Structure 1
């Protein structure tokens, strides 16, 4: 299983630093150059006074890059053309730009910083959720209820910071270059209460409204369908505008996450997502179900 674990990204509030993407691209290009030259990771690490594992982390985009290290690696890999070297070294500068979410480092675990960066850099986000409404579609009151439920020992100030972070992420959907967002919600997420009835009614109304946005497609997997392709749990597929960057599958765990980019892994999740799209209610039918649930709430 191949994993991608980079560390920066495009500004989720509408900026375009793209540092997450640059870091992954630079790492993958360095890996291709090394393999083409027949250089081992151990030898590459030795050339920059580092370990084999450091080279592995660089090639996966998991660490920041030093211009001197990249220069030495390019020399080792036989890259002498100045234009090619300059292009790759310019990626070093762009890859090390901090994203907006770094100011929330006190409430944002490192493994989720990776996701926020990838989410902000994606051109297409496809997601299946079963436990609760997707974070990009949550109202402020619903977010607050989710945070309090999930972090019962958090101070009021920490709760507010976590709420503010999620609301900042949501600006992505109304940005000038907003991604296409296709989400399938299990019907269970619409009946599981977070907060009181007022909170849930507000959340349902918000889902109806935001599902009308041209870049948002919302479908519901109804109870009546029975077993379905999302049986393994929630997951997200991310696609990027850069052709050199593979699709990534995001799988969240209790205290960490997996980022899969190996073609055969991604393909299985794409097939599952396709079946979810086929078997779920259409967007229009989904709005109708939301309206019915709202009437009963």
Structure 2
């Protein structure tokens, strides 16, 4: 994100979010598990607007936050940008934030994004009784510099917890690896998304 963008959106980002955006930009691989919403990097503008409107009352602030989210998504188009591997709980895909039409458009967007070589999307369906990441959502950021440790980010209502202790990171990495083998395989993603869309 360029300096002009930093100035434009600075008041919207608390220190913890500023740190996360910097780490996200520097990452070579972003692995995330989400249970309530479609991950921010995969949201359509309308979906992002609906999600942000749940928390923020001021329409002008919502629009600026949508703009910031869309600018963050440019990472996925940037040469040398990070790869994204997202596991999304079926509940997040079926939650009707903003209505059925918006939900269908978001699912279409996910199908298109999942066809990109730098984006992987898997679905954690309802029919799984339990899985390795039952504790909640998290993100693992990996960096191109081998000397830079991976960072686990646990986002909370008013902040985020950043874990870089090797034993903590390894635990979350193992959980993510197990999760990716327990949920639906990558080659089923498009069919699952389309089936959910047809039921909306």
* C-alpha distance in structure 2 between counterparts of 1:164 and 1:117, whole Å: 17
- In 1, the alpha carbon distance for the partners of 2:125 and 2:116 equals 22
Q: Deviations over 1:109-141 (max 9, x none)?
A: 111111011001000100000010000000010
1:178 shift after superposition? 1.7
Residue 102 of structure 1 and its aligned partner are, at CA, apart by: 4.3
Question: Match for residue 14 of structure 2?
Answer: 109
TM-score (norm 1): 0.65
Q: Which has the higher strand share?
A: 2
- 1:225 deviation in Å? 0.9
**More relative contact order, 1 or 2 (CA 8 Å, 6+ apart):** 2
In structure 2, the gaps of 5 or more residues are: none
1:89-126 residue CA offsets vs partner (Å, 9 max, x unmatched): xxxxxxxxx68434311211111111011001000100
Count of equivalent residues: 200
TM-score by length of 2: 0.96
Alignment of 1:137-156 (within 5 A): 137-151=42-56, 153=57, 155-156=58-59
175, 178, 188: which is aligned to 1:272?
175
Structure 1: gaps (5+ residues): 1-10, 16-97
**For the residues of structure 2 that align with 1:170 and 1:220, how far apart are their CA atoms?**
20
Cα pair distance change 1:224/1:253, threshold 3 Å: same
Picking from 101, 124, 128, the partner of 2:29 is 124
Q: Is the 8 A contact 1:101 1:165 kept in 2?
A: no
CA positional deviation for 1:271: 0.6
Deviations 1:128-172 (A, max 9, x none): 000100000000100000010122x2x221111010000000000
Is 1:122–1:241's contact at 8 Å kept on the other side of the alignment?
yes
The Cα RMSD (Å) is 1.3
